[in-house]
A = this chain, B = another copy of it.
Amino acid sequence: MQPVAAPAWQVTRWLNSAQPLSLEGLRGRVVVVHAFQMLCPGCVSHGIPQAQRIAALFAGAPLAVIGLHTVFEHHAAMGEVALEAFVHEYRVRFPVGIDAPGPQGDPMPRTMRAYAMQGTPTTVLIDAAGRRRQQVFGVWEDLSLGAAIGALLSEQAEPAVPTAPLRGSGSGCDADGCSP
């Protein structure tokens, strides 16, 4: 099966972005979409911090992290004012789009419906040509998600694996002893 174009985003408002964003406007970059609800425990404990780690780690790469607030329950509790407070308190710096409400009688918002997401958190990987390449509901482990991102970045001209030795962070043993 060939990957096909990712559905367009239907967003009523963007936070952390001066102008509306679109897949067309991000062509040439790998796009990591993190669809979440601000009162979804798994999003708060896992998905949001992971999206922040991705944004920091690939800050210099042709990659964009995009949040999508896909509220399908407790709508009254997760409106715009609440989301603004959430984004502020959790220091979310990447753009966050508010998914457009569904048509009458559909609790699921429009982009969430178009992507056939099963719930939150959902992570969508879109390649530099705008094609949806992977979509995962629930916790996606860093190692596996990192590998998928690395593969998509490698399809670009730019080399993704630096050749120079790097220094990792944290603990290790060297000639001066061990740090815990």
A155-B151 Cα distance, complex, nearest whole Å: 9
Interface of A is mostly: mixed
Interface residue from B86, B137, B142, B178 paired with A42 (Cβ < 8 Å): B178
> Is A66 located at the chain interface by the 8 A CB criterion?
no
Q: How far is the CB of A2 from chain B (nearest CB, A)?
A: 8
Q: Chain copies in the assembly?
A: 4
Chain B's closest residue to A124 (CB) is B165
With an 8 Å Cβ cutoff, the count of chain A residues facing the other chain is 82
| A123 cross-chain contacts in B, Cβ below 8 A | 168
**7 smallest A-B Cβ distances: which pairs?**
A146-B146, A150-B150, A119-B174, A138-B168, A42-B171, A147-B150, A139-B170
Write the residues of chain A forming the contact surface with B, with a CB cutoff of 8 angstroms. Answer: 1-3, 37, 39-46, 50, 53-54, 57-58, 72-74, 76-78, 81-82, 84-86, 88-91, 118-121, 123, 125, 133-155, 159-175, 177-180
Report 23 cross-chain contacts, Cβ distance below 8 Å, ordered by A residue: A2-B163, A39-B89, A41-B171, A42-B172, A44-B45, A53-B141, A54-B143, A57-B143, A57-B144, A58-B147, A73-B173, A74-B88, A74-B89, A77-B84, A120-B172, A121-B172, A123-B168, A135-B165, A138-B168, A139-B168, A148-B161, A150-B151, A154-B154
